[in-house]
Structure 1
Amino acid sequence: MFDTDIYELKMEGAFEHFTDELSKIRTGRAHPGMLDGIKVMAYGVEVPLNQVANVTAPEAQLLQITPFDPANLQHIATAIRNDQGLGLNPSDDGRVVRVPVPALTEERRKLLVKQAGEKSEEARIGLRTIRQDGIKDARQKKDAKELSEDDLKRVEKEFDRLMSVYQQKIDEACKTKEKEILTI
C-alpha cells in the first residue's frame, strides 16, 4: 500500500511556512515578529536580528530594539532602514533603537492585502507540487506492479482530500490576515 503520510507532513510544512510568511506582513499594530526577516551585519557575518538584539513592542505604534552588544546599534538601524518592504525609519539614542510604526494608509492596506494574496497563491503552488510528486510516485509504483489500479485511485482521492483540507486552512488564514490588515 502507498503511504501518503510523508506527503501530508510536507503539506503541513508548506502550510507552516505560509503562516510564518503571513506573520511577517505587518498590520496596523507593532509586533516584534515584523522584524523576523531582518538580517544584521554583525562581527563580519549576516545574522538574524533576534540573535544580536532583543525586540519588544512597548506601545502599539513603537518597536524597541535593545542590542546585546551596543557596537551593533548602527548596523541594526541600517538593516531595518534598508528593508524597503517594511517602510520603517528607525532612530537610536546610543543605547536602544526605536522604530515608530506609522499608521497604515488605505492604499498601503490594499497593497498588504494583495501581498497576503500572493503569499497564499505561493502556498497553493507548493501544495500542488507536493500533490503532483505524490501522485507521480504512486503511478511509478503502479507501473512497477506494486500498486493496483484501485489502490492508485484511492491514493489520488486521498491527495484530493488533503488538498481541500490544506486549501481551506490557507483560505481561513488569509481571510483572518486580511481582516487584521483592514481593521483600523
Structure 2
Amino acid sequence: MISDVLAEAKEKMQKALEAAKDDFGTVRTGRANPALFQRVLVDYYGTPTPLAQLASMVNQEARTLLITPYDKSALKDIERAIVGASNLGASVGNDGNVIRATLPELNEERRREFVKIVRDKAEQARVSLRNIRRKAKDDLDNLKEVGDDEIARAEKELEAATKQHVDAIDDALKRKEAELLEV
C-alpha cells in the first residue's frame, strides 16, 4: 500500500516536471520554433483547436516560421489566432496559401520579460509538486494497518522524491534563463 502511494506520487511528479519543461519550450529564445506555436488555439468551426492539428509548421529562416494550413478555408482563423497570441509578438502575413509569422528581434527588456515568465512557470510547477506531495502525505496518514515507523520512512522517501523533482525544475529554469539572456 505504501509503495502504491509512493509510486503514484513519483509518477505524477515526473509528469509535472515534463509539463514544466514543455512550458519552458514555449517561451522563445532567439529562433522561430514550431514549439512556440503549440499552445496557440484556433477557433476552427467554433471549436478551439491546437494550431498543430490544423497546419504544418516549418522554419523558413531564423526568425520566420512558414505555416501551411491543411484546410485553406482556415487561413484567416489561423492568422487571427497567431496575432492574438499575446506573448509571441509575431508579425503575420499570408499570400492566400501559407502564413509567414516573423518574430521580432529580442531586445534586453523583452529577454527580461521572458525570464520573468519562465520563473513564474517554474513556480507553478513547484506548487504542483508540493500539492502532489501533500496529497500523497494525506494518503499515507490515512493508511490504518501500517506502523508509524513505516509511514515515517515513506514520508522521508516522499520528501526526497519531491526535493529531487524541485531540483530538476530549478536546473531546467537555470538552463532556460541562460538561454534567454544569451545574446
The runs of 5 or more residues in structure 2 that have no matched partner are none
Match of 1:86 among 60, 85, 88: 88
Following TM superposition, by how much is the alpha carbon of 1:85 offset from its aligned partner in structure 2, in angstroms? Answer: 1.8
Alignment of 1:45-124 (within 5 A): 45-124=47-126
Answer yes or no: is the 8 Å Cα contact 1:55–1:64 preserved in 2.
yes
Answer yes or no: is the 8 Å Cα contact 2:88–2:103 preserved in 1.
no
> Are 1:32 and 2:34 an aligned pair?
yes
Percentage of identical aligned residues: 37
Amino acid of the structure 1 residue aligned with 2:54:
V
RMSD (Å) for aligned C-alpha atoms: 1.0
Answer yes or no: is the 8 Å Cα contact 2:42–2:77 preserved in 1.
yes
Amino acid of the structure 2 residue aligned with 1:2:
I
With structure 1 as the length reference, what TM-score do the two structures score? 0.95
Following TM superposition, by how much is the alpha carbon of 1:43 offset from its aligned partner in structure 2, in angstroms? Answer: 2.8
- Residue 167 of structure 1 is matched in structure 2 by 166
1:19-78 residue CA offsets vs partner (Å, 9 max, x unmatched): 111111111111000000111122332211111100111211101100111111111111
Q: Aligned equivalents of 1:131 and 1:85: distance in 2? A: 32
With structure 2 as the length reference, what TM-score do the two structures score? 0.95
> Are 1:182 and 2:181 an aligned pair?
yes
1:93-122 residue CA offsets vs partner (Å, 9 max, x unmatched): 111100111111101100111111111111
- Residue 157 of structure 1 is matched in structure 2 by 156
The runs of 5 or more residues in structure 1 that have no matched partner are none
Amino acid of the structure 2 residue aligned with 1:99:
A
Q: Aligned equivalents of 1:70 and 1:97: distance in 2? A: 11
Match of 2:116, SS state, is helix
Answer yes or no: is the 8 Å Cα contact 2:34–2:58 preserved in 1.
yes
Q: Aligned equivalents of 2:122 and 2:146: distance in 1? A: 34
- Residue 14 of structure 1 is matched in structure 2 by 16
Q: Aligned equivalents of 2:53 and 2:164: distance in 1? A: 36
Answer yes or no: is the 8 Å Cα contact 1:138–1:147 preserved in 2.
no
1:121-159 residue CA offsets vs partner (Å, 9 max, x unmatched): 111101011111111111111xx2x11111111011101
- Alignment coverage as a number of residue pairs: 181
Q: Aligned equivalents of 1:58 and 1:181: distance in 2? A: 21
Q: Aligned equivalents of 1:138 and 1:101: distance in 2? A: 49
